[in-house]
Amino acid sequence: MVRTRTEEEIELLRLNGDLVSRTLAEVGRHVAPGVTTKELDRVAADYIRANGAVPNFLGYDGYPHSICTSVNDVVVHGFPSDYALKEGDIVSVDLGTLLKGYNGDSAYTFPVGEVDSETRRLLDVTKECLYRGISMAVVGNRVGDIGHAVQELAEANGFGVVRELEGHGIGRDMHEDPGVPNYGKAGHGLKLKAGLCICIEPMITAGSRGVYVARNGWAVHTSDHRKAAHYELTVVVRQGKAEQLSTFDYIEKDNSINK
C-alpha cells in the first residue's frame, strides 16, 4: 500500500534524515587507509545511539551488523569486518536510524585516499544519477521518470545499472511501497503524489550490470568484479521540486573528509 505522509510525520522523517546525514559524515571522518570496516560500524552505532536512536539495520531480516560497508566490487550489503581499507579502495557506507517511530536510510560511497580517474568518474556519475532521480520526484511525474533519468545518465557514461535492487518508500518501516527502480520508462508507473516519502538509491557498476549474492547470503557483488558505487538520499515528493530529508552537506562541507 502506497501512502503519503502528513507534515507531522514528515517532520519525524526529517529528524531521522538529519541524523543519518550527520552519522554518514562522522563515519566519513574515520575512512582512511588501515581502518577496518568493523571500526566504521562501531563509529556509526555509537553515534546513532548517543543521539537517542537505534541503528535500524541491526536485526533487519536477520542482518547481523549496524551498517553496511560495501568495498570495491561489493555493490551493497557488505558486512563490516576485519578488512582494513587500503589506498585506492572505495567503500559504500549505508546506514539507517529508528527515532521516534520513524526511519532514516542513506548511503555515501567514500574514496579511500587517492582513487584512479575511472573510479573517480564512477563516483561522480553515480552521485549525479541520484540528483537526476531526485529532480524527477515531483507531483505529476511517475516512478518510471525517476528510474529513466538515473538509467539514462548512467548508461550514457558507459556504466551499468543494477536491476536486482531498488529504492523504496520509507516511514514507520524502513522499506515500504512503492519500489523505486533505477531503470524504467518515462511516463510509466505509479503517479507521484505530494507527501510521498521515498529513498532513491542508484547502484551503478563500472562494467557490466550483472550481480550475484555471496555465500553469506547478503553481500551483492558485481559478476565481473569491477567496482560499483551507491548513493542514497530520502526525499519527499512536492509540487515543483522534491524536498530532501537527508543530505550530503555535512560530508561536503567538512574539509577533513575525503570525498
Separation of first and last alpha carbons in the chain: 37
Tell me the β-bridge partners of 36: 84
Residue from the set 12, 24, 68, 200 that interacts with ligand MF3 by CB under 6 A: 68
Which of the listed partners (ligand MF3, Co ion, none) does 57 bind, with a CB threshold of 5 to 8 Å by partner kind? ligand MF3
Which of the listed partners (ligand MF3, Co ion, none) does 60 bind, with a CB threshold of 5 to 8 Å by partner kind? ligand MF3
Which of the listed partners (Co ion, ligand MF3, none) does 73 bind, with a CB threshold of 5 to 8 Å by partner kind? none
Residue from the set 103, 145, 232, 247 that interacts with ligand MF3 by CB under 6 A: 232
CA-closest candidate to residue 214, choices 90, 109, 70: 70
> Coil, strand, or helix at residue 119?
helix
Considering only the stretches 18-26, 28-36, 61-69, 178-186, report the one whose residues sit in contact with ligand MF3 under the rule CB under 6 A. 61-69
Judged by CB, which is closer to ligand MF3: 39, or 201? 201
Considering only the stretches 37-45, 57-65, 114-122, 203-211, report the one whose residues sit in contact with ligand MF3 under the rule CB under 6 A. 57-65
Interface positions, 82-111, toward ligand MF3 (CB under 6 A):
94, 96, 105
β-pair type (67-71, 90-99) = antiparallel
Whole-number Å distance between alpha carbons of 125 and 88: 18
| CB hemisphere CA count around 208 (13 angstroms) | 6
Interface positions, 148-207, toward ligand MF3 (CB under 6 A):
168, 199, 201
Judged by CB, which is closer to ligand MF3: 121, or 172? 172
Residue from the set 39, 89, 105, 176 that interacts with Co ion by CB under 5 A: 105
Whole-number Å distance between alpha carbons of 26 and 14: 18
**What's the closest the beta carbon of residue 94 comes to ligand MF3, in angstroms?**
5
The C-alpha cell at 158 is 558507459
DSSP E strand stretches across the chain: 54-55, 67-71, 74-76, 90-99, 102-111, 160-161, 167-169, 176-180, 197-200, 203-205, 211-213, 220-222, 228-230, 233-236, 243-244
CA-closest candidate to residue 65, choices 84, 48, 52, 88: 48
Judged by CB, which is closer to ligand MF3: 60, or 88? 60
Binding site for Co ion (CB under 5 A): 105, 199
**List of residues contacting ligand MF3 (CB under 6 A):** 57, 60-61, 63, 68, 77, 94, 96, 105, 168, 199, 201, 232
